[in-house]
Amino acid sequence: MNLTRLALGAILTGTTLVSCLAPAAARDFTLKLAHHYPDVHIQAAGLKLFAEEVEAKSEGRIKVEVYPAETLVSGREALDAVENNVVQAAPMPGNYQTGIIPSLQYFTYPFMFDDASHFRRAVEGGIKDLLVPEYAKHNIVLLNYYHKGALHLMDKGKFLTSEDAFSGERVRSLGPAISELLSALGANPLSVPLGEVDSAIERNVIDAVTTNCAAHTSRGWVEHLKFVTFADMSQGGEGLGINAGFYNGLPADLQEIVQQAAKDMEDLEWTSMIADDEEACFDKWEKAGAQVHKLTAEEKALFVSRSRPILDKAIADNPDIQPFADIADQTR
């Protein structure tokens, strides 16, 4: 991460790193909230709720400035930006941060969870508690944690349900665990930055992507990737992080307001994402002219059979993964 660039960005927006870290005066607080979602993305609604609730319940003592769609900070830059108080808060997209916080990939193994509801029980049953101290090491208070949607497969010309279908397919992947599964099924997983996916699709650099329904439709990828294999491969998570120095500098009553707004945001993100992914998305896909195939029990068994050895080997190589797997089993 280029912190010089971030520092320059802070100066250009009227806030230096030094002034951000200075003790809060009696004046109002300004909280810059940056995120990578376009306004039409379903998860932008939770962030909007958080901003509105903080301003309203603090009666203007906290002013929230929202910078959506990577207008100030990209998803890849979010952790460094919040850690260094260039912005005070941002969602923490785990798929970009596994190199910094390895435990973020310990619960992304394909088919570790039965569905989104199982994932929520696991997050609330201990997974979030394991993540909070990891973010604290980076000067970030993890205010909440919620569902980003289940990963499915979207292809230009076919459903991906068998090893023959996967053979040679160039698939934009998300994270090492999913990439291992794709390789085991015969595909060629590729890492493509978010901002380059559109051109990669148009230039035939990739044949397919693995993503959730919200991203597939809101980012316009559905226009080219019309074949959806509803695989429910992996449950994605994300949390809202706030700079610890900024948060600890707030009076206790304002901290409570921020915490409650984060809880309300979390509830909205869970319920809206599950409803969107498991119900509303089928209507969206139909309107966009996409075809959808849900894995049959036999087809899913193939995926699971290729997934389990990946998790077993990962635990053997790194016992730190075991607590996450145990929570998954205990909340099943």
pLDDT tens digits, the chain, 332 residues: what are they? 444 344 434 434 444 333 344 444 445 999 999 999 999 888 999 999 999 999 999 999 999 999 999 999 999 999 999 999 999 999 999 888 989 999 998 998 999 998 999 999 999 999 999 999 999 999 999 999 999 889 999 999 999 999 999 999 999 998 888 999 999 999 999 999 988 999 999 999 999 999 988 889 989 999 999 999 999 999 989 999 999 999 999 999 999 999 999 999 999 999 999 998 889 999 999 999 999 999 999 999 999 999 999 999 999 999 999 999 999 999 99
Percentage of residues in the chain with pLDDT exceeding 90?
Answer: 82
> Quick count: other Cβ atoms within 10 Å of Cβ 157?
10
**Whole-angstrom distance, CA of residue 332 vs CA of residue 286:** 32
Q: Are 116 and 150 in contact (CB under 8 A)?
A: yes
The CA-atom distances, in angstroms, between 15 and each of 31, 34, 39, 90, 185 are 11, 14, 25, 17, 49
Let me know if the fold of 3-149+237-278 is the same as that of 152-234+288-330: yes
pLDDT tens figures, 138-165: 999 999 999 988 999 999 999 999 999 9
Instruction: At 82, give phi and psi (nearest 5°).
Output: -75, -40
pLDDT tens figures, 199-228: 999 999 999 999 988 889 989 999 999 999
Residue-range domain boundaries for the chain: 3-149+237-278, 152-234+288-330
Question: Can you give the chain as a three-state secondary structure string?
Answer: CCHHHHHHHHHHCCCCHHHHHCCCCCCCEEEEEECCCCCCCCCHHHHHHHHHHHHHHCCCCEEEEEECCCCCCCCCCHHHHHHCCCCCEEEEEHHHCCCCCHHHHCCCCCCCCCCHHHHHHHHHHHHHHHHHHHHHCCCEEECCCEEEEECEEEECCCCCCCHHHHCCCEEECCCHHHHHHHHHCCCEEECCCHHHHHHHHHCCCCCEEEECHHHHHHCCHHHCCCEEEECCCCEEEEEEEEEHHHHHCCCHHHHHHHHHHHHHHHHHHHHHHHHHHHHHHHHHHHHCCCEEEECCHHHHHHHHHHHHHHHHHHHHHCHHHHHHHHHHHHCC
pLDDT tens figures, 172-182: 998 888 999 99
The CATH number that domain 152-234+288-330 falls under is 3.40.190.170
Instruction: At 65, give phi and psi (nearest 5°).
Output: -105, 120
The CATH number that domain 3-149+237-278 falls under is 3.40.190.170
pTM equals 0.81
